[in-house]
Amino acid sequence: MDEFNTRKPINLRRHGIYLLPNLFTTGALFAGFYAIVQAMNGKFEFAAVAIFIAMVLDGLDGRVARLTHTQSEFGAEYDSLSDMVSFGVAPALVIYEWAFRSLGKWGWFAAFIYCAATALRLARFNTNIEVVDKRYFQGLPSPAAAALVAGFVWVMLDYGINGEAVRWYAAALTVFAGLSMVSNLPFYSFKDINMRKSVPFLVIFMVALFFILISSYPPGVLFFLFLGYALSGYVLWVKRRSNKQPPM
């Protein structure tokens, strides 16, 4: 009897790839690639803005997939690879080209800490996604860390400050962002906010004021916004310790 006749038939049907959510992911990937190219050309403000654009597109792809019921394992893996480029490699290279070149090995060491921390953060997120409390991220999310680094570059450029002059501050901030990503600190995820629930008029008014505030001075407002978010995990950790609550 032929051994092949004893095997079960294999399903050879091809699994399609949903176009709409992956278009947003591709846009985020392109923005990260664009940031790298602009940093190599010395156009650091364009590079910083591109990272923020990547963050917006990355936030949209998952929501679009859930709204249109087009979630897929391919999309999840593609999103992680895109995040590694846009929020790991791109910010590390931008900050290195802008401020770390004169630091020698310490410069690329600080940039690599950030880049490696992003990879570890994404890997841990993918493996713990069904375990951790949905209300909190375990460690600083990589888009927020990238926004912190890119926002610092953008603010300094807006004030006309050269990266050489603040290279050690930039190195400290980059390492801080990297270590925060691989920490066990809790960061509020905003996932428990119900967008379909009715809210008071005051909430809509506050949202409008928020966008007006950002438009008044985007570099400074965005940088301090994400700096505050990065520090919020440490504040929440101290609060939990003082209340003797169990860790995440």
pLDDT at res. 121: 95
Q: Is pLDDT above 90 for 68? A: no
CA contacts within 13 A on the Cβ side of 238: 5
Q: Is pLDDT above 80 for 168? A: yes
Could you give the number of structural domains in the chain? 1
Burial class, 234, CB count within 10 angstroms (exposed 0-12 / middle 13-18 / buried 19+) = middle
Encode pLDDT of 99-152 as tens digits. 999 999 999 999 999 999 999 999 998 888 766 677 889 999 999 999 999 999
Count of CB atoms situated within 10 Å of the CB of 172: 12
Specify if 97 maps to a domain: yes
Encode pLDDT of 178-190 as tens digits. 999 999 999 998 7
Q: Are 223 and 154 in contact (CB under 8 A)?
A: yes
Specify if 106 maps to a domain: yes
- pLDDT band with cut points at 50, 70 and 90 for residue 229: very high
Count of CB atoms situated within 10 Å of the CB of 73: 8
Q: Are 100 and 110 in contact (CB under 8 A)?
A: yes
- pLDDT band with cut points at 50, 70 and 90 for residue 67: confident
pLDDT at res. 65: 82
Specify if 118 maps to a domain: yes
Q: Which helix (H) or strand (E) holds 174?
A: helix 167-182
52-61, 132-141, 233-242: segment of lowest average pLDDT: 132-141
Encode pLDDT of 5-49 as tens digits. 444 443 433 455 677 889 999 999 999 999 999 999 999 999 999
Percent of the chain exceeding pLDDT 70 equals 85
Specify if 1 maps to a domain: no
Q: Are 185 and 233 in contact (CB under 8 A)?
A: yes
Q: State the residue range of the domain holding 141.
A: 16-189+199-242
Whole-structure pTM value: 0.86
Query: What rounded mean pLDDT belongs to the chain?
Result: 87
Specify if 143 maps to a domain: yes
Specify if 158 maps to a domain: yes
**CATH assignment at residue 230:** 1.20.120.1760
Residue 114 token pair = 């950030």
- Comparing CA positions, the residue from 110, 97, 109, 95 lying closest to residue 147 is 95
Q: Please report where in the chains the tokens 């006309």 appear, as a residue.
A: 160
pLDDT at res. 5: 46
